[in-house]
Amino acid sequence: MTYLISQKKYKNKKVFWMTALLFLFGLLGAAFWFVMGNSNGNLNEENKGVLETTTPVKTQSRAKPYLTITPKMVRQGDPALITAEGATTTRDVKSFTFDDRPLFIFLHEGQVSALLGVELRAVPDTYPIILTFNDGRQIKENLVIVERQIVRKPFDIPDKLGGNTNESEKELVSTLALEGKIINALPVVWKKLWTEKFGSPLKGPLVVTDDYGYTRLIGKSTTMPHKGTDLKADMGTPVYAMNRGVVKFASSLRNYGSTVIIDHGAGLQTVYMHLSKINVTLEQKVEKGDIIALSGDSGYTLNPHLHLTVRIWDISIDAMKFLEILGEN
């Protein structure tokens, strides 16, 4: 469309030119708003014509150092990796605590970090994590522990351990307590030994046959939390060291069967139970992927499988959750 303004309608030329200029500015203004509305933003009908810019908004980055928690939601029985982003040397750290309890610090991917194991029966609540530097500075974060849904299932005592009798039930309870004391008394390696992510204890995809954390109902009155993960493994399946470490236990126990415990340092241990054969010796150094044993059905078990436990400072945590945090996949 062409717009013409006839000079004949105006006797006064000055009035004519002023009108023409105003008309021209009006056209330029309309064109400007049309271009803006179709390039840098769009008009939001719900906001009655307010221009919504699509230009990315710059957010202010968080000042370092600060604490991050992985995963963000931690259940009863879960592990957590606490990282001080921006803190790159442990020499500057005076203390690292969870609910006033000291955490063992190490460098993970170049950052000051600590592993935390949450007790299966920990009280769901909010707990403080505080990192204190030698110069007095502190950085803080809260860890929220949420409840884990507990499943209860009956579980028989095998005939090789006396079957479902009152006597067998009592002996099971007493011997399990003794075996727990033996494992908890093992010396620990303070230095972090692993440098890679943790691998699988078995070749191929892991198939869980019994989850961590559920409660076994044994006999008439005994309840026993399952503080490990049972993995499908036929008799004689090779079992692999999940990472570099030192063998701290390689022997047989009444209920746990033939057992290997590898200490990876920094308070972290992996435990392999119900084995049919042990291929390592006490204090032997192992590398990730070494065949340490063959799976079996020794001890308190109804069929062949691999019972895997991950321990952080004497706390048995969910092994599958651990692999999500520090595993290869």
**Could you read off the pLDDT of 133-164 as tens digits, one per residue?**
999 999 999 999 999 998 999 989 999 999 98
Q: Where in the chain is the domain with CATH 2.60.40.1590?
A: 66-146
Q: Where in the chain is the domain with CATH 2.70.70.10?
A: 152-326
pLDDT of res. 209: 96
pLDDT of res. 54: 37
Non-local (6+) Cβ contacts of 168 within 8 A are 157, 161, 162, 219
Specify whether domain 66-146 bears CATH 1.10.3720.10: no
- In the three-class reduction of DSSP (H, G, I as helix; E, B as strand; rest coil), residue 108 is classed as strand
Q: Report residue 26's pLDDT band, with 50, 70 and 90 as the boundaries.
A: low
pLDDT of res. 61: 63
Q: How many residues belong to the chain? A: 329
Core vs surface per residue 108-145: b (16+ CB within 10 A) or e: beebbbbbbbbebebeeeebebbbebeeeeebeeebeb
| Residue where the block lists tokens 């000079």 | 7
Q: Where are the alpha helices (DSSP H) in 133-218?
A: 166-184
- In the three-class reduction of DSSP (H, G, I as helix; E, B as strand; rest coil), residue 6 is classed as coil
Question: Does residue 82 have a pLDDT over 90?
Answer: yes
Q: Report residue 221's pLDDT band, with 50, 70 and 90 as the boundaries.
A: confident
Judged on CB neighbours under 10 Å (0-12, 13-18, 19+), 324 is middle
Tens digits of residue pLDDT in 99-132: 999 999 999 999 999 999 999 999 999 999 999 9
Average pLDDT, the chain: 85
Question: Does residue 59 have a pLDDT over 80?
Answer: no
- What CATH superfamily classification does 152-326 receive? Glucose Permease (Domain IIA) (2.70.70.10)
- Helices (H), strands (E): how many in the chain? 3, 24
* Model pTM above 0.75: yes
Tens digits of residue pLDDT in 228-279: 999 999 999 999 999 999 999 999 999 999 999 999 999 999 999 999 999 9
